[in-house]
C-alpha cells in the first residue's frame, strides 16, 4: 500500500517537474520576444525574477520527492554495540539564563539515557546570580557544570572553549528545551559506528507545545515539513547539514575543522559545509527521538526566522566564492542543496513582488505579466495545480490535513518583511545581533510595528476596489488580478489572529536557539 502511494506521488512529481519547466521556458521566451516600453519591461523583468526564485525552490522540492521515490529511507546500516565496551560520548547542553524547571526536565532526560559510557556537561552562559543554583541542579543529576571565565557570546563560542578538554570519540549537543528518549544514544551510536567516514548523525525535533498558540502550531508544521520531506531528501544525497541540536558528531572531525564557526550566527550550517568539503558523510536519522518547544508568540517566531535566514544567507555569501574557486570542494548535488537552503530565505523578496505586481496593475495600469488567457490556462494553471497536488500528497501521506498545509503557507507568507530585512543585512555584511528565541513568554507585537503588513494589506484593498471599477475594461486581466490581490490580503490578515498571547502562560525559555 505504502509503495503504491509512493509511486503515485513520484509520478505526480515528475508531471509537476515537466510542466513547471515548460511553463517557465515559455514565460521567458514570450518576455524576450515581444517589444515592451522601459517601464513595462522593468516590472516584467522583476516579476520574472520573483517567479524564477519560486520555481527554483519548487524544482528543489520536486527533485527531492523524486529521489525519495527511488530510495528506501527506512533502511539504515548499523553495527551491533557491545554494552560492556561502548564508545565514549560527551553530551553538551549550552544554555543561558534558563529557568530551573526547564533545565531540570532536560537533565532528567539526559541522566536517563540508556548509555553507560557518557559524560554530560552543562555549558552555562548565565548571569552570575544564577550560577550557584544552576551548579547545584547539575550536581543533583551527576552533570558537570562548566562556566568559562570569560562569558561566551553564543553557542559556538562556549562549545569551542570546552572542545580541547573533550577526549571522547563522539559528542552530542542538545538545546536546553530538548528532551531525548532513553534509547537516543544507543540508536545513533550504532549508526555512526558503521563507518569512520560518517561525521555526524542529525535527528529531527518534534515540538510538543502546539496547543499553546496558533504560532506554536504553525511553527511545528513548518518544522515537520523541513524535518520530513526536505531533510530526508538531503539525507539520501549526503547533503544533510547539522541543525545545532539533537545530533551526534565525531569529536576529531569537529576539531579538524577548527570547531564550530563562531563568526556565523548559524554556526551549525556553516560548519557542515566545511565538514562535507573534507569528504565526510552525514546521515539523517528520520525517527523522532527528541522532543522540544516551539516559539509561542509572533515576536519569538520572527526572531527565530531572522536568525536562521540571515545566518544562512551570510554563510553562502562568505563561502560561495571559495566554492567557485575550488578552495572548498563539494559534490554537484551538495552545492545544489546548500544553494537551495540559502536562497530559500529570499522568499520574502519574491513574495512581496508577487503581491505588489497585481496591485500595481489594478491601481496604475502597470502590467508585468504579458501573456494571453490561453497561455495562462494551458501552462500556469497545470503547473500550479500539479505542484500543489504534489506537496499536499506528500503531506497527506504523513497524515497532515489540507488546513495544516495552508497554515504552513500562512506562516511563510507573514514572514516576508523579516526575511527581507535579514537577507539584506547578510548580503551587505551588516553585523547581525544574535537573537534569543523566547518560548513561553507572553508577548505580542504593538500595532505600530505591524506597519509593513498593514501598508501592503491596505494597498491591496485599494487595488481590489479600483479593480472592481475597471472590471468592464478587461474581464480576464482585471478578474485574475483581483483574485490574487484578494488571496494575498486574506493571507496577510492572518497576522492579526496570530499576534495574540499564548493560551497557557509558561515560564520563559531563553536559549541559544
Residues 6+ apart with CB under 8 A from 265: 154, 307, 310, 311, 314, 432, 434, 435
What confidence score (pLDDT) does residue 436 get?
43
Question: Cell digits for 272?
Answer: 557542515
Residue 153 backbone zone (phi > 0: left; psi -120 to 50: alpha; other: beta): alpha
Residue whose grid cell is 550550517: 269
pLDDT level of residue 439 (50, 70, 90 thresholds)? very low
171/1: higher pLDDT? 171
pLDDT level of residue 432 (50, 70, 90 thresholds)? low
Specify the DSSP class assigned to residue 343: H
Which of 69, 113, 74, 70 has its CA nearest to residue 93? 113
Quick: pLDDT tens for 188-211: 999 999 999 999 999 999 998 888
Average pLDDT, the chain: 89
What confidence score (pLDDT) does residue 317 get?
82
The whole-number average pLDDT for the span 21-25 is 93
What confidence score (pLDDT) does residue 133 get?
94
pLDDT level of residue 7 (50, 70, 90 thresholds)? confident
Query: pTM of the entire structure?
Result: 0.88
Quick: pLDDT tens for 391-420: 888 888 777 888 888 888 899 999 999 999
Give the separation between CA 121 and CA 142, rounded to whole angstroms. Answer: 9
The whole-number average pLDDT for the span 28-55 is 92
The whole-number average pLDDT for the span 375-381 is 86
DSSP string for 165-182 = G--SSEEEE--TT-EE-T
507: pLDDT strictly greater than 70: no
Give the separation between CA 58 and CA 66, rounded to whole angstroms. Answer: 12
391/185: higher pLDDT? 185
Residues 6+ apart with CB under 8 A from 71: 236
227: pLDDT strictly greater than 50: yes
Give the separation between CA 258 and CA 270, rounded to whole angstroms. Answer: 12
User: What share of the chain has pLDDT > 90, as a percent?
Assistant: 63
Residues 6+ apart with CB under 8 A from 125: 94, 95, 96, 97, 147, 151, 152, 158, 512
DSSP string for 380-404 = IHHHHHHHHHHHHHHHHTTT--HHH
What confidence score (pLDDT) does residue 434 get?
41
Give the separation between CA 178 and CA 102, rounded to whole angstroms. Answer: 9
Give the separation between CA 29 and CA 6, rounded to whole angstroms. Answer: 35
Instruction: Give me the numbers of helices (H) and strands (E) for the chain, helices first please.
Output: 19, 12
460/154: higher pLDDT? 460
b/e per residue 145-156 (b: at least 16 CB within 10 A): bbbeeeebebbb
Give the separation between CA 230 and CA 245, rounded to whole angstroms. Answer: 17
417/317: higher pLDDT? 417
The whole-number average pLDDT for the span 342-352 is 95
423: pLDDT strictly greater than 90: yes
The whole-number average pLDDT for the span 421-440 is 70
pLDDT level of residue 504 (50, 70, 90 thresholds)? low
486: pLDDT strictly greater than 90: yes
The whole-number average pLDDT for the span 414-442 is 75
Quick: pLDDT tens for 58-90: 999 999 988 887 766 667 899 999 988 999 999
The whole-number average pLDDT for the span 354-377 is 90
Quick: pLDDT tens for 109-136: 999 999 999 999 999 998 889 999 999 9
Find out whether 432 and 311 touch, Cβ atoms under 8 Å: yes
Give the separation between CA 393 and CA 62, rounded to whole angstroms. Answer: 12
490: pLDDT strictly greater than 60: yes
137: pLDDT strictly greater than 90: yes
Domains and CATH numbers, the chain: 2-72+345-498 (no CATH), 89-344 (3.90.550.10)
Q: Which residues pair with 179 in a beta bridge?
A: 291
441: pLDDT strictly greater than 60: no
User: What share of the chain has pLDDT > 70, as a percent?
Assistant: 94
283: pLDDT strictly greater than 50: yes
Of 226-230, 461-465, 493-497, which range is least confident? Answer: 226-230
Which of 504, 355, 394, 477 has its CA nearest to residue 67? 394
The whole-number average pLDDT for the span 157-178 is 96
Amino acid at each position: 500500500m505504502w509503495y503504491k502511494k509512493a509511486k503515485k506521488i513520484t509520478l505526480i512529481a515528475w508531471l509537476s517537474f515537466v510542466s513547471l519547466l515548460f511553463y517557465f521556458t515559455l514565460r521567458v521566451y514570450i518576455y524576450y520576444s515581444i517589444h515592451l516600453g522601459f517601464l513595462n519591461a522593468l516590472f516584467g523583468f522583476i516579476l520574472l525574477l520573483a517567479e524564477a526564485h519560486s520555481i527554483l525552490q519548487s524544482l528543489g522540492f520536486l527533485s527531492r520527492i523524486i529521489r525519495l521515490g527511488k530510495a528506501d529511507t527506512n533502511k539504515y546500516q548499523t553495527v551491533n554495540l557491545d554494552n560492556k565496551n561502548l564508545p565514549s560520548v560527551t553530551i553538551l547542553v549550552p544554555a543561558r539564563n534558563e529557568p530551573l524547571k526547564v533545565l531540570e526536565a532536560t537533565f532528567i532526560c539526559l541522566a536517563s539515557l540508556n548509555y553507560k559510557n557518557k559524560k554530560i556537561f552543562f555549558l552555562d552562559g548565565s548571569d552570575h546570580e544564577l550560577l550557584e543554583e544552576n551548579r547545584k541542579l547539575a550536581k543533583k543529576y551527576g552533570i558537570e557544570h562548566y562556566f568559562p571565565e570569560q562569558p561566551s557570546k553564543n553557542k559556538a563560542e562556549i562549545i569551542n572553549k570546552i572542545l580541547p578538554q573533550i577526549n571522547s570519540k563522539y559528542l552530542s549537543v542538545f538545546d536546553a528545551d530538548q528532551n531525548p528518549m532513553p534509547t537516543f544514544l544507543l540508536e545513533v551510536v550504532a549508526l555512526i559506528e558503521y563507518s569512520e567516514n560518517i561525521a555526524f548523525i542529525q535527528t529531527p525535533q518534534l515540538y510538543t507545545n502546539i496547543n499553546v498558540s496558533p504560532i506554536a502550531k504553525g511553527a511545528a508544521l513548518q518544522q515537520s515539513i523541513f524535518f520530513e520531506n526536505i531533510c530526508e531528501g538531503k539525507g539520501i544525497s549526503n547533503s544533510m547539514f547539522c541543525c545545532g541540536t539533537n545530533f551526534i558528531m565525531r569529536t576529531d572531525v569537529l576539531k579538524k575543522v577548527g570547531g564550530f564557526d563562531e563568526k556565523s550566527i548559524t554556526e551549525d550550517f556553516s560548519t557542515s559545509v566545511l565538514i562535507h568539503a573534507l569528504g565526510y558523510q552525514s546521515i539523517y536519522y528520520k525517527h523522532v527521538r527528541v522532543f522540544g518547544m516551539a516559539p509561542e508568540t509572533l515576536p519569538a517566531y520572527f526572531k527565530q526566522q531572522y536568525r536562521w535566514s540571515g545566518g544562512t544567507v551570510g554563510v553562502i555569501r562568505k563561502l560561495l566564492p571559495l566554492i567557485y574557486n575550488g578552495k572548498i570542494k563539494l559534490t554537484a548535488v551538495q552545492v545544489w542543496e546548500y544553494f537551495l537552503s540559502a536562497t530559500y530565505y529570499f522568499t520574502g523578496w519574491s513574495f512581496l513582488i508577487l503581491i505588489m505586481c497585481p496591485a500595481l496593475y489594478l491601481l496604475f495600469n502597470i502590467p508585468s505579466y504579458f501573456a494571453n488567457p490561453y497561455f495562462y490556462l494551458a501552462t500556469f494553471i497545470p503547473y500550479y495545480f500539479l505542484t500543489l497536488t504534489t506537496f499536499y500528497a506528500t503531506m497527506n501521506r504523513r497524515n497532515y490535513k489540507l488546513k495544516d498545509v495552508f497554515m504552513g503557507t500562512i506562516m511563510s507568507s507573514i514572514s516576508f518583511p523579516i526575511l527581507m530585512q535579514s537577507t539584506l543585512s547578510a548580503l551587505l555584511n551588516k553585523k547581525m545581533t544574535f537573537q534569543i528565541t523566547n518560548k513561553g513568554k507572553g508577548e505580542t507585537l504593538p500595532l505600530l510595528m505591524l506597519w509593513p503588513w498593514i501598508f501592503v494589506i491596505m494597498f491591496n484593498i485599494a487595488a481590489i476596489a479600483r479593480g472592481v471599477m475597471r472590471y468592464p475594461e478587461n474581464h480576464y486581466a482585471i478578474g485574475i488580478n483581483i483574485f490574487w490581490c484578494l488571496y494575498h490580503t486574506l493571507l496577510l490578515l492572518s497576522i492579526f489572529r496570530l499576534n495574540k498571547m499564548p493560551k497557557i502562560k509558561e515560564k520563559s525559555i531563553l536559549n541559544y536557539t
